[in-house]
Chains A and B, each alone.
Chain A
Amino acid sequence: MNSELLIKNGRVIDPANGIDGKLDVLIEDGLVSAVGRVQKEVETVIDAEGKIVAPGLIDMHVHFREPGDEEEETISTGSAAAVKGGFTSVVCMPNTRPPIESETDVEYVHRKARQARKTHVYTMGAITKGREGVELAEMGFMSEAGAVGFTDDGRGVQNPDVMLRALKYASMFDVVVAQHCEDTGYGEGVMNSGYSSSILGLGGIDYLAEESMLWRDIQLVKKLGRGCVRYHAQHISTAGSAALIRKAKKEGLSVTCEVTGHHLLFTEEQCMDYDTNYKVNPPLRRQADIEALKAAISEGLVDALVSDHAPHLKSEKELEFLTAPFGIASLECAFSLYVKALIDEGVLDWSGLIRLLTCGPAGVIGVDKGTLSKGRQGDVTIIDPDAEYEIDVNTFRSKSRNCPYHGWKVKGRVEKTIVGGEVRYSRGDE
């Protein structure tokens, strides 16, 4: 490991500290030791002229499928994909088989991540045993083992009483409870409920399935008061959800939310040819929802951008639309997708975008990451903002290829990913 690493002449953007300027970053013994004009002779110097130097990016919503579906992804391949995508920290979802629901499960994820030695891997634990929405899982033990939040992702907690208890109990440990908002009482579906689903003859997931659960959860948070309750709405997808978040934040409730790239780039019409690569949950909605989500982002209502990287086998995505699993694998190209959806469209500036990929998510999960403050871990992502490239799934380090962005020409290429002062990815040395 390099004991000293100097990144010179880059445009350093550190939103948490209000920094945006041509500066140098010095990392010593794996920790950030200086941001400014550094005149020190060090062994390793990276010239970042013309590049953006950002705190290491964080994706707080990925599925690495281990344990249980290692043929789709492992913590090792997922970690390799993460650093290629510029992510120095990721948060795994607990909907593995079996789910992450005990401290040994959490430790297992951490051990696999240490062995992979690529990115920092955090995990959330399940809210309920078996993600069945009935009995609380051992949140205390998991949180002691380092779980950064709880969710039954892939499913919402249907029973309001169980959710209320989860919020109360988690508040003891000051850990966030994240919800996949979907009230299945509205019926089960495979795409957005609307004109397209009618034509295609596919069951729809109604807007209300998401919004009514989000509304309910916000009421629960309100009922519990402002103590230590922390609630996070995962991958919101509708204009109505954005409005609910706006209202909750205005009332000062401890509610945060995230948005995925695909909900900013695609509408339900992408499903018209039954291409299962567009089958995601929450489903792709309509243009008005995209506009509303972008408006929410530019207003600062959204705390994090996430890939919801959900790898699946080709053979599974080759199934009928009805049967194929939900999900898009996009961790490696996620950053460029946000650039396309938000920078190119003028929704955010670079600093605004990087905020939602660094200190934004770090704040939600409560980890000491996402800034270049002195003494923090030396996690840095170097990005060439102008470089264009074509997304090619065949170059993915992820095991899966279920990515509808294949062949897209995009901007904003990750050049180097540095984790704890060590260069873990460098474009070109593969």
Chain B
Amino acid sequence: MSVVLNSEEVQQVLSKMSEQIRVSASEGEDIAFIGIRSRGEILAERLSEMLSELLGIEVPCGTLDITLYRDDLNSPSGDWQPVVRTTEIGFNIDEKLIILVDDVLYTGRSTRAALDALIDLGRPKSIRLAVLVDRRGREFPIQADYFGVKSDVQPGKSVKVNLVESDGKDEVVIE
């Protein structure tokens, strides 16, 4: 196991990302965060808080469950049991700039599922992708607009994002 980002670095990376988001968003843009369950949800909350502070306005944040949109639903492997949870988005996504947040971008399949799920909820003006770790190994033509750190880990290893809210400690590790 090796640590890619420690607790302090996670925080730094997140604030750097929120700054990037602020810069790239044009004036008056209606921004909202939507996190993919479960770690993306926590990251989205943190980012929305940071951005709210930077902009001085409340940036809404929601949670998306993508279980029903996964492409491996009909061939689950032994270590993955689909559990359907709720999607909690308390605002209308139409005409918004949606920042979709996930912990790790790897094959791109979760992002693909999230895009389908989002589109079934409404018609955002545009969707951008923010991830804490951008890991090499894409299987779909999907790229992150904002990322915290890039990672070049071999297939077979796993990149794990631990967060205070869910795991007691902020860190990114390779196992």
A–B: direct contact at CB < 8 Å: no
